[in-house]
C-alpha cells in the first residue's frame, strides 16, 4: 500500500499513526493489520462484521454499468468540481471517497490532481478489491462509516460522497477547514421510467432538502447543480442498473428478468442527480 496514503491512516483501536511493516500496517502501539492480497487493508476492529456493504453481485453490476460510460457526464462534472476546489483552496491533503464502491469516481478525480493521493473507504471487500486497483495513487481501506473513520483529522482537501451513506460528524472531522465536501445524490426523476414497470424503490422526493438538513451542523451548502440526461439502455444495462442499486436487496431476479424482457430495447431512461458542494460550517 502507498506510503503517501498510509500517513493519513490511524489505528481503529488506539488512534495512533500507522506505518508499513512488510505486508502489514502496524500502529505505534503495536496493533497489526494485514494488507490483503488484493491490495486493500481492513481497519475494521475485530468483531465488527463488514458484511453490510454491497455484495459481490452488486459490485459486479456497478462495475459493468460504470464501465459502459453511462455516468461519464456525472464523473466529468465531479472531477471538474474537485479540480477547482484543489486549485483554489490553499490546503494540503488527500481526496477521500466515503463509500467509494469500485473507486470509479475517485480514480477520475485523482487523475485530475497529479500531486494528490486518494483514499477509498468502504465496508464491502468486493468493492475494495476493485478500488485498490482503480488508480495507482489510490489506497483502499475497509471501515464502517457509522463509526469513527480510521483517518487523521483534517486529512482531506476534498471529501467525496456519492450515492453512499453519510455520517456528517466524521465527514467534517476528516476534511480540512479550507476543503470542500462534494456530494452526489439522486434527484427527482432519476431512473424514473424504470420505477413503475420494474416495481423499484422510489427516490425520496425531498432527498436534497434532507441532505442539507442532516449536514447542517457541520457543513454549509455553497453550490448545487443538477445533472440531467437521457440514456438509451439495453436490457443488459437495465439489469445492471437495477442490480447495483437498493432494489437489488428486494427484487426477485426471475420476476425482474421477465419484467425487463417486456421493456423496449433500448429503453430511454432519465439520469437526474444533484452535485452539492459544502464548506465546513464555522470560521
Ligand X SMILES: C[S@@+](CC[C@H](N)C(=O)[O-])C[C@H]1O[C@@H](n2cnc3c(N)ncnc32)[C@H](O)[C@@H]1O
**Interface contacts to ligand X, rule CB under 6 A:** 52-54, 62, 99-102, 104, 122-124, 127, 144-146, 162-165
Task: Please choose, from the candidates 240, 225, 101, the residue with its C-alpha nearest in 3D space to the C-alpha of residue 161.
Answer: 101
β-sheet bridge partners, residue 119 = 96, 139
List the grid coordinates of 42: 481492513
Contact flag: residue 29 with Zn ion (CB under 5 A):
yes
**Closest CB 127 distance from ligand X, rounded Å:** 4
End-to-end CA distance of the chain: 35
Query: Residue 276: what are its φ and ψ, rounded to 5°?
Result: -110, 135
Contact flag: residue 27 with Zn ion (CB under 5 A):
yes
**Closest CB 97 distance from Zn ion, rounded Å:** 24
Stretch that binds Zn ion, among 26-34, 37-45, 180-188, 250-258 (CB under 5 A): 26-34
Which SS3 state, helix, strand or coil, does residue 61 take? Answer: helix
163 binds, among Zn ion, ligand X, none (CB under 5 to 8 A by kind): ligand X
Contact flag: residue 11 with Zn ion (CB under 5 A):
yes
With residue 31 as reference, give the H or E element that holds it: none
CA-CA distances (angstroms) from residue 115 to 59, 83, 92, 120, 169? 29, 11, 10, 17, 27
**Closest CB 129 distance from Zn ion, rounded Å:** 25
124 binds, among ligand X, Zn ion, none (CB under 5 to 8 A by kind): ligand X
β-sheet bridge partners, residue 228 = 272
CB-based contacts of 196, cutoff 8 Å, min separation 6: none
Between 32 and 201, CB nearer to Zn ion: 32
248 binds, among ligand X, Zn ion, none (CB under 5 to 8 A by kind): none
29 binds, among Zn ion, ligand X, none (CB under 5 to 8 A by kind): Zn ion
Contact flag: residue 44 with Zn ion (CB under 5 A):
no
Amino acid at each position: 500500500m502507498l506510503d503517501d496514503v498510509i500517513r493519513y491512516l490511524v489505528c481503529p483501536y488506539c488512534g495512533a499513526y500507522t506505518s508499513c511493516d512488510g505486508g502489514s500496517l502496524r500502529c505505534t502501539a503495536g496493533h497489526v493489520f494485514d494488507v490483503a492480497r488484493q491490495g486493500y487493508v481492513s481497519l475494521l476492529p475485530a468483531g465488527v462484521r463488514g458484511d453490510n456493504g454491497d455484495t459481490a453481485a452488486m459490485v459486479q453490476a456497478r462495475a459493468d454499468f460504470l464501465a459502459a460510460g453511462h455516468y461519464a457526464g456525472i464523473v466529468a462534472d465531479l472531477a471538474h468540481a474537485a479540480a477547482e476546489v484543489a486549485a483554489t483552496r490553499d490546503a494540503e491533503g488527500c481526496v477521500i471517497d466515503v463509500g467509494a464502491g469500485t473507486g470509479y469516481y475517485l480514480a477520475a478525480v485523482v487523475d485530475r490532481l497529479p500531486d494528490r493521493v486518494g483514499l477509498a473507504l468502504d465496508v464491502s471487500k468486493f468493492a475494495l478489491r476493485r478500488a485498490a486497483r482503480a488508480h495507482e495513487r489510490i489506497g483502499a481501506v475497509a471501515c464502517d462509516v457509522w463509526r469513527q473513520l480510521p483517518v487523521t483529522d483534517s486529512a482531506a482537501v476534498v471529501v467525496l460522497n456519492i450515492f453512499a451513506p453519510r455520517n456528517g460528524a466524521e465527514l467534517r472531522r476528516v476534511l480540512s477547514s479550507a476543503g470542500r465536501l462534494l456530494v452526489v445524490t439522486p434527484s427527482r426523476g432519476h431512473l424514473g421510467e424504470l420505477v413503475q414497470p420494474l416495481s423499484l424503490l422510489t427516490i425520496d422526493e425531498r432527498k436534497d432538502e434532507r441532505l442539507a438538513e442532516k449536514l447542517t451542523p457541520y457543513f454549509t451548502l455553497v453550490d448545487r447543480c443538477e445533472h440531467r440526461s437521457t440514456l438509451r439502455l439495453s436490457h443488459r444495462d437495465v439489469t445492471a442498473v437495477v442490480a447495483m442499486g437498493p432494489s437489488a436487496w428486494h427484487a426477485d431476479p426471475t420476476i425482474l428478468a421477465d419484467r425487463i424482457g417486456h421493456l423496449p430495447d433500448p429503453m430511454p431512461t432519465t439520469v437526474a442527480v444533484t452535485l452539492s458542494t459544502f464548506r465546513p460550517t464555522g470560521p
